[in-house]
Amino acid sequence: MAGCGQTEPPTYGHLLRMGDLVTYKAHRLVLPANALAREYDVRDISPMIATGTVNPGNENEPLFHPEHGPGFAKAHKSGFKDWQITVEGSVDRPGAFSLADLRRMPSRTQVTRHTCEEGWSAIAQWTGVPLAIVLASCGMQPQARYVQFWSYDYYVDNIDLNDAFHPQTILAYAMNGRELPLGHGAPLRLRLERQIGYKSMKYLRKIVVLDHFDDPEGSHIRSGWSWYNGI
Ligand SMILES: Nc1nc2c(c(=O)[nH]1)N[C@H]1C(S)=C(S)[C@@H](COP(=O)(O)O)O[C@H]1N2
Ligand SMILES: [Mo]
C-alpha cells in the first residue's frame, strides 16, 4: 500500500515548471523515502504568527469561500462539536471523522520548524494523527497516487504518496500542547514537514484520494506556485 512509486508534478510543458520537476526528482533521489525533517526540543519553541487565512468564517478574508465559509463559522461557534472531515475517492471505505474519532486514533507529537515562502520561520509543537493511519483505516486502493486536501477557505492542494505516508505527515489538532488555535488552522490542519509552509494546509474540510493528478480551480499551482517545494 505504501509502496509510493514516484509520481511527478505536472509541468504543463512550461520551462519554469521544469524546475519543480528537477527539485522533485533530486529530493526523491537523494532523500530516503522516510528521511525525517529535523525535530527540536520543546525549549526551542518560538512565537509563531498566523498568516494567510486566519478565520475562514470571516467574509472579509481574501480567500473566503461563500459556500463553505458560513459552515465553518457555524462549526466554530459550536466548538467544532459536529465538525467532521470526509475521506473519499480511491478508498474502499469512504467516511467521515469527528475530532473525537481522530483523537482516539494513535497520535504523534513533533516539534518542527515551519518555513514560509515569505522568508520567516518558527518552531512549534504539533500533535495529531498520522495521515497514513487515517488513509489505511479507509482502505487505500492500489491505483491511488495522490492525496488531495480541501479547506474551508479557497485553498486546495495535493501531495504524492511518498509525503502522504511519511511518518511526520500528520493531521494536527493541537499546537504547543493546546487545542489548535483558530488562526493556526482549527480544528484540523496538515503538517507536512518536508515541504515549505504553504503546503501545510489549515482548516481541512475534505480529503480525496486520487489516481490521477487533479489540479482544480483554486489550487496553488494554477496560480503559479510550485507543486513540490521541498526544504
Ligand atoms: N487553508 C489555508 N491553509 C494555509 C494558508 C491559508 O491561507 N489557508 N496559508 C499557508 C501559508 S503561506 C503558511 S506560511 C501557513 C501559515 O500557518 P500559520 O498561520 O499557522 O502560521 O499556512 C499555510 N496553510
Ligand atoms: Mo507561507
Helix, strand, coil percent values for the chain (each to nearest 5): 25, 25, 50
User: What ligand 1 atom has the least distance to the C-alpha of 185?
Assistant: 20
Instruction: Report CA torsion sign: 9, 11, 17, 19.
Output: positive
Q: Per the structure block, which three cell numbers stand in for 66?
A: 461563500
User: What ligand 1 atom has the least distance to the C-alpha of 52?
Assistant: 7
Q: What is the pTM of this model?
A: 0.92
- Residue bearing the CA closest to ligand 1, atom 19: 50
**H-run or E-run covering 191:** strand 189-191
- Residue bearing the CA closest to ligand 1, atom 21: 50
Domain 15-223: which topology? Sulfite Oxidase; Chain A, domain 2 (3.90.420)
**H-run or E-run covering 163:** helix 161-164
CA distances 50 to 35, 43, 140, 181, Å, are 28, 20, 33, 9
Predicted confidence (pLDDT) at residue 65 exceeds the cutoff of 60: yes
**H-run or E-run covering 123:** strand 121-130
Query: How large is the average pLDDT for residues 220-227?
Result: 79
Report the pLDDT value the prediction gives residue 9, as an integer from 0 to 100.
Answer: 64
DSSP state of 8: P
Distance, CA 189 to ligand 1 centroid (Å)? 9
Report the pLDDT value the prediction gives residue 223, as an integer from 0 to 100.
Answer: 75
Domain boundaries, the chain: 15-223
pLDDT in tens, 101-154: 999 999 999 999 999 999 999 999 999 999 999 999 999 999 999 999 999 999
The residue written with cell numbers 465553518 in the block is 72
